Amino acid sequence: MTATVHQLNRRPAPSLEPMMSLVADDMHAVNSVILERMQSKIPLIPELAGHLIAGGGKRMRPMLTLACAELLEYPGTRHHKLAAAVEFIHTATLLHDDVVDGSGLRRGRKTANIIWGNSASVLVGDFLFSRSFELMVEDGSLKVLKILSNASAVIAEGEVNQLTAQRRIDTDEEHYLEIIGAKTAALFAAACRISAVVAERDEAQELALDCYGRNLGIAFQLVDDAIDYSSDEKTMGKDAGDDFRDGKVTLPVILGYARGDDEQKRFWRDAIAGHRTSDEDLAHATRLLEQTGAIADTLERARHYGQRAINALGGFPGGKAKAALIEAVEFAIARAY
């Protein structure tokens, strides 16, 4: 195959609409699986799970599974249950993350842990993980099971890695990329790769889709970490400055700290240690990140990983599916602008 390189320079503003339209029929089938499998004779389980699943998320990860299957012209239906499994893994990690972070808002709504408490959120997250593994087993492919189960383990490792790095201003860029590569990019990669498995494509195409998803996931998280300092609560759908107050050392902070003078470094040490968490401190932190170019350079790195994701699709033939997957990358980055 001859690779075709596409550039990240689309105008007007990119959208997920092409991908949503591409997979609309398949997504109805996935939603039916999700609705069916989140049911339980214990009423709290579907009530709590439904709160998050119905909370306005774009369901980008399962859509990627469906869009990659479309790219490969897969004619079957196995990917419906697997896309649902991907969404359950993602939803379970969100429930657990909100407990760990003490978050109060997600997608503009109160988090499940605020409404039902931490214990219920953790246990329902466990339930959804279990449902995802049931769906994997029903598919019958050991290779699919290996890819998704490994992704689940890597995500958990990434979250623990992030927890141990919390409030450590000496965290470097390599460590940070290791964290987001695990906690975010691993599921993007697996969601894309399993489509090549069910379509019975060769390992080269599996790895190409894995590369696409992994780089998209890194770009997606880089943008998230940048807009935590450059956006507002209404736009983000979560509490503004959560990362700052939680003492998370994300790439904007790593760059801002490295470029700061002694006084600025002292501020960052105090802030990440939890001693400077007021709204005024957050505003000061944002000004420092803007002055040192830390936010702009974080977004430039996101564009770099986005371009790598697009390049990974170079060996696949053109068409609506490929165009939608390319625009999904551009959308992920354009959220910051």
| Paired tokens of 179 | 């964290």
Is pLDDT at 170 greater than 90 in this prediction?
yes
Residue 314's pLDDT is 97
Angstrom CA distances, 186 to 20, 156, 225, stand at: 22, 10, 17
- The one-character DSSP state at 2 is -
Residue 56: DSSP 8-state? -
Residue 10 in contact with residue 322, Cβ under 8 Å?
Answer: no
Contacts of 238 (CB under 8 A, 6+ apart): 103, 105, 106, 107, 108
Q: What is the pLDDT of residues 282-333, one digit of tens each?
A: 999 999 999 999 999 999 999 999 999 999 999 999 999 999 999 999 999 9
State whether residue 105 is helix, strand or coil.
strand
Q: What is the average pLDDT across 115-131?
A: 94
- This prediction has a pTM of 0.92
The model's confidence at residue 335, banded by pLDDT at 50, 70 and 90, is confident
Q: Is the peptide bond before 14 cis (omega within 30 degrees of 0)?
A: no
Angle (CA) 154-159-164 rounded to 5° is: 120
For residue 281, which amino acid is it?
A: D
Tell me the per-residue pLDDT of 201-260, one tens digit each, with 9 for 90 and over: 999 999 999 999 999 999 999 999 999 998 765 554 556 788 999 999 999 999 999 999
The first and second tokens of residue 29, run together, are 């089938």
- The pair of three-digit structure tokens given for residue 165, joined into one six-digit string: 């790095």
